[in-house]
Structure 1
Amino acid sequence: MSNIKKTAEEQATDPAFHREEFPFYWIVNVYARYTQIMEITLKKAQLDVSGFRVLMVTHQYGKASISQISEYAMAKMPTVTKIVGRLREDGLVTTASSENDARVTEVMLTDAGRQKVEEAMAQAGKVFEKGFKGMTRNQVAKMNLALAKVLDNLNEL
């Protein structure tokens, strides 16, 4: 018997393969459904998911550079720049050059932005509660550790 592991393609075409046993099936489907629900939910706060992410990163750090937001929100810098511009036009954020490095643009929430974050967090909290209904804090913590390990492993590629 060979010790060579089957490739993902071989596993997918194996008649014994069941997608429900493939963790990435669950990761992709949870993400897709979460995003779909959040789009609908955040519309009530006149936001989309990308704007929500930018506001949340900025809220968490008080002020954040475009590159920080890009990293933490998992979005490309040009995309973040456009989102920040839209949020600035909506009066939710302000931007300024960093005191330490004038080449760096920092983003800060306005009072309206802080109110929008509170409104959106209340809506998002309902999604979180529903999504993790029936799970203990310990189960959620273990899931976070397992997913962090998967991400670390993938980042090594």
Structure 2
Amino acid sequence: MKKLVSVPGFIMLCLSAAGLVALAFFIGTWTASSGKVAVEGAFVTVPDSITATTGYLEYKVSVPDTEANLAGVAVSFSTTSRYVTLDPASGTVTTDSDGMARIGVTTNPDAPAWARSAVVEASFSVGGLSVTSKTPPISIKTG
């Protein structure tokens, strides 16, 4: 009796049917030392200024030179200014199905008029690879 499907072939068929073949490949190759897969993060949307009204920063996590966006990655945001509040307050947002993490920023009500700008930093890790990005200084508007 001939074997029609090998066990590894059957497993790959099951994985592809579930849409997980790409995920299984990337999980096995996301290492900083292997150089097989690179991961990048970039700010896509940055407000012109931070005001008392919530503005949003959008940060995209992807595989460069492909159209692969990474969902489910925890991105941690922080700011250089104590006069800026992040929403959610924890500063951690998980990327959606488009690889996008979106966080709100507002000026604190007690921010002095001399507060000028803030830089927002985003960082994440995938496997053994860590990526950090910073915005250019964003103007703080008070009052």
TM-score for the superposition, normalised by structure 2: 0.23
TM-score for the superposition, normalised by structure 1: 0.21
Task: Report the structure, 1 or 2, having the larger strand content.
Answer: 2
Task: Report the structure, 1 or 2, having the larger helix content.
Answer: 1
